[in-house]
Amino acid sequence: MFNPESLKLYFICGTTTCNGRNLLEVVEKAFAGGITLFQFREKGKGALEGKEKEDLAREIQKLCKNYNVPFIVNDDVELALKLNADGVHVGQEDSDVELIREKMPDAILGLSIGDELEYKSSNLSVIDYIGVGPIFSTISKDDAGKAIGYTGLKQIRELDKSLPIVAIGGISRDKIKPIMDTGVDGVSIISAISYADDIEKEVSLMLKQFN
């Protein structure tokens, strides 16, 4: 059962976005700090594939279970199925969301939305939440679209007040409060956590921004 409150502080990471650190150590520190959802996103130059990717995903999934944090796989539906992951997050071009829902009827299913046009052209009836952005320019995604800012985020929030929304893209601690003021359910963060000098402390400070 998907709980929209889990979107509050949503950490996304893989071996290519952890600043050269050991990913398992990065993730465990983030869990210790209090992240509420984790997405395994193994993409980009030098990303793991095949058995290496699967083995690492299994290790992270174990950590997620230890900390009672839902484990989401980015794009790789077959891996998500193989691991019986809690969910999968896909982009506009990645897959047919209806087909994914048929394959994973009880899983958390997230979809990336870059603007109002994508929102209106997407089948949201089978989606649990949407990831909207990039809100600001980002160093973590080579394929990210144009930044939509607070205004663009609020426009999409106004289209549907009930659909859970998590904001993504260039979000740092100081931007959390104004983003939450738009009425969304949470923030997705990559580099502001994975590149932090003290990951556990940074996550705990981020959580205080929601009060």
Given the structure tokens 């999409």, which residue do they identify? 156
* Residues with a known catalytic role: 41, 112, 141
Q: Residue 80 is which amino acid?
A: A
Q: Which of 74, 49, 202 is nearest to 141 (CA)?
A: 74
Condensed to tens digits (0 to 9), the pLDDT of residues 89-107 reads 999 987 699 999 999 999 9
Instruction: Tell me whether residue 43 is annotated as binding.
Output: yes
Q: What is the mean pLDDT of residues 196-201?
A: 98
Token pair recorded at residue 163: 């659909």
Instruction: Tell me whether residue 128 is annotated as binding.
Output: no
Distances (CA, A) of 4 to 36, 98, 140, 176, 179: 10, 21, 24, 17, 16
Given the structure tokens 């009930």, which residue do they identify? 162
Condensed to tens digits (0 to 9), the pLDDT of residues 114-162 reads 999 999 999 999 999 999 999 998 765 555 578 999 999 999 999 999 9
Rounded distance between C-alpha atoms, residue 121 and residue 126, angstroms: 14
Q: What is the pLDDT of residue 141?
A: 56
The helix/strand/coil state of 109 is: strand
Instruction: Tell me whether residue 75 is annotated as binding.
Output: yes
Q: What is the pLDDT of residue 1?
A: 80
Question: Which domains does the chain possess?
Answer: 11-208 (3.20.20.70)
Rounded distance between C-alpha atoms, residue 206 and residue 211, angstroms: 10
Instruction: Tell me whether residue 19 is annotated as binding.
Output: no
Instruction: Tell me whether residue 151 is annotated as binding.
Output: no
Q: Which of 120, 104, 23 is nearest to 64 (CA)?
A: 23
DSSP secondary structure code for residue 99 in this structure: H
Rounded distance between C-alpha atoms, residue 167 and residue 9, angstroms: 10
Instruction: Tell me whether residue 113 is annotated as binding.
Output: no
Q: What is the pLDDT of residue 137?
A: 83
Q: Residue 7 is which amino acid?
A: L
What is the per-residue burial (b if ≥16 Cβ within 10 Å, else e) of 123-138?
ebeebbbbbbbbbbeb
The helix/strand/coil state of 161 is: coil
> How many residues appear in the chain?
211
Q: Residue 193 is which amino acid?
A: I
Distances (CA, A) of 121 to 118, 128, 146, 148: 5, 16, 18, 18
Instruction: Tell me whether residue 94 is annotated as binding.
Output: yes
